[in-house]
Amino acid sequence: MRILLASTVHNCLSQSVQLELAALGHELAVTVVTNEKSIVGAVDQFRPELIIAPMLKSRIPESVWSQYPCLIVHPGIKGDRGPSSLDWAITEGESRWGVTLLQANQDMDAGDIWASQEFPLRQAASKASIYRHEVTRAALACIRQAVDAVERGQLRAEPLDYQRPDVLGRLRPVMRQADRSIDWSASTDRVLARLQAADSQPGVFERINGAGVYLFGPVRGPQVNAAPGSWLACRDGALCRATGDGSVWIRQARVLPPHGHGIKLPAGDALADVLDLSPVADFAKPVPGDDWREISYHESDGVGYLNFDFYNGAMSTSQCRRLTRAFKRATRRDARVLVLSGGLDFWSNGIHLNNIEAAELPGAESWANINAIDDLVQEIIGQTDRIVISAIHGNAGAGGVTMALAADDVWVRRGAVLNPHYRGMGELFGSEYWTYLMPRRVGDEVALSLWSDCQPIDTAAALATGLIDRSKASVLACTPV
């Protein structure tokens, strides 16, 4: 079937849908929708039998939805309507949530329901993490169901009817910053919910010492007795802030001009010119009740696990150097197998483009960052007295994929999306020894194709080409067998 995928951004969900439908043998076209005219043009050119919008912020014009079946992925339960579905669900502490596949019509999110899936709403998780995992899995299930119905000619969409007992959602307004505002004297759970509902976009806005600041990347901090809202500690670029009954770590911040660069950066760097951080303690190591850190190591049954979890998978110069030092320390241990375990959401996306953009000398910083990640990759390649396994649970892109290939074995969670290319990043060619690591696994021809086509690949394709070695339901704390 000829299927057009229309998205505002070709994000992880849209890419997952592309890979799923391609694997099922459908003929696909992908269009990034900037306005109504762009989707009309894509439809006229491709002439699809079905249009699916995995992530679309704008309306599909009547001239399209009246002529073609158009299915919209909405990240909400039946009856839920509005652009802030997950934001409200997390903020209001819903225990279950879901995805609904809707027929486009004249009213946003009010079309006939083709399929729906519910899931437990994971607690203490950010909106972005839930979107990448639970929402993506539910959306794929809905799309498979709907596409199968179209192919069989069994179109049984149900009208939206709020009188039905299973229609529990409602129309909610867009969530404004006034709805996200934080009372720092509230409980840590409540503060975390506000921050998590805004992560990774749009963040929670605050006015700090006259500067406009957006806060991102919350993690539960230690139990402390301090004035709510006060800044307590720093670690790995994050800042710890007191709540009514504890604290939270703020990993990232965006400070608006003229006080900052206007882009996301590690909170300690972004707020260095806004806050007086001299009284803030440097918690280089966790304190009791606080086990969060970007890099950690543990051993179990003779296997060493080097865990790293960098925000959005971006690795700055300092993060690459810290991970290199941690890798060297791990290789001095007795464990004969070392697992490199990235985060739940991202393994790595390579060098840190925001840090480079914000640097006083971006060219010098980009060179330093590339050399730092190259040094890390070289250390992994050169480790010959033990087995090194890359365990990729989250998505990976650019130099992050290549870094994983430096290990002896590469294990990837089924459902993870890999983007092993650079050319779409402003002709950034990258390094990480990719001209050595990729061809030795897949051959010159496939390596060049992966680099130049700028297309995502799934674990099935990666296994078939030899890019990876194993695909598992989960590779978190994986145990080699």
pLDDT 10s digits, 299-339? 999 999 999 999 999 999 999 999 999 999 999 999 999 99
Write out the residue range of the structural domain in which residue 242 sits. 186-282
Q: Are 358 and 417 part of one and the same domain?
A: yes
From 126, 152, 178, the end of a domain falls on: 152
Which whole number is the average pLDDT over 125-142?
97
The domain spanning residue 313 has which CATH number? 3.90.226.10
The domain spanning residue 124 has which CATH number? 3.40.50.170
Q: Are 129 and 208 part of one and the same domain?
A: no
Determine, yes or no, domain membership for 366: yes
Give the other-Cβ count within 10 Å of 426's Cβ.
7
Determine, yes or no, domain membership for 303: yes
Q: Are 11 and 148 part of one and the same domain?
A: yes
pLDDT tops 90 at residue 451: no
What is the C-alpha to C-alpha distance for residues 342 and 394, in angstroms, rounded to an integer?
7
Which whole number is the average pLDDT over 367-391?
96
From 152, 175, 200, the end of a domain falls on: 152
Determine, yes or no, domain membership for 290: no
Type of residue numbered 415 = G
Q: What's residue 475's pLDDT?
A: 81
Q: Are 266 and 299 part of one and the same domain?
A: no
Q: Taking each helix axis as running N to C, give the angle between helix 434-442 and helix 444-453, from 0 to 180 degrees, rounded to the nearest 10.
A: 120
Determine, yes or no, domain membership for 308: yes
CB 187 within 8 Å of CB 245: yes
3-state secondary structure at position 424: coil
Greater confidence, 278 or 111? 111
Determine, yes or no, domain membership for 167: no
Give the other-Cβ count within 10 Å of 185's Cβ.
14
What is the C-alpha to C-alpha distance for residues 386 and 18, in angstroms, rounded to an integer?
38
DSSP annotation of 415: T
Determine, yes or no, domain membership for 179: no
Q: Are 276 and 409 part of one and the same domain?
A: no
Query: What pLDDT digit, counting tens, does each position of 41-80 carry?
Result: 999 999 999 999 999 998 999 999 999 999 999 999 999 9
Q: Are 273 and 300 part of one and the same domain?
A: no
The domain spanning residue 194 has which CATH number? 3.10.25.10
Q: Are 278 and 337 part of one and the same domain?
A: no
Count of structural domains, the chain = 3
Which H/E stretch holds residue 103? strand 96-103
Q: Are 462 and 321 part of one and the same domain?
A: yes
Determine, yes or no, domain membership for 170: no
DSSP annotation of 448: H
Q: Are 307 and 405 part of one and the same domain?
A: yes
Give the position of tokens 């399929």: 115
3-state DSSP: the chain helix, strand, coil percent, rounded to 5?
30, 25, 45
pLDDT tops 70 at residue 480: no
Handedness of CA 187, 190, 196, 198 (dihedral sign): negative
DSSP annotation of 311: G
Which whole number is the average pLDDT over 144-160?
91
Q: What's residue 481's pLDDT?
A: 42
Q: Are 31 and 104 part of one and the same domain?
A: yes
pLDDT tops 90 at residue 453: no
Q: Are 455 and 325 part of one and the same domain?
A: yes
From 152, 178, 203, the end of a domain falls on: 152
Peptide bond into 202 cis (omega under 30): yes
pTM of the model: 0.94
CB 65 within 8 Å of CB 186: no
DSSP per-residue codes, 29-91: EEEE-SSHHHHHHHHHHH--SEEEESS--SPPPHHHHTTS-EEEEESS-TT-BSTTHHHHHHH
Q: Are 314 and 278 part of one and the same domain?
A: no
Determine, yes or no, domain membership for 331: yes
**Residue among 146, 162, 57 at smallest CA distance from 108:** 57
Which H/E stretch holds residue 138? helix 136-152
Peptide bond into 200 cis (omega under 30): yes
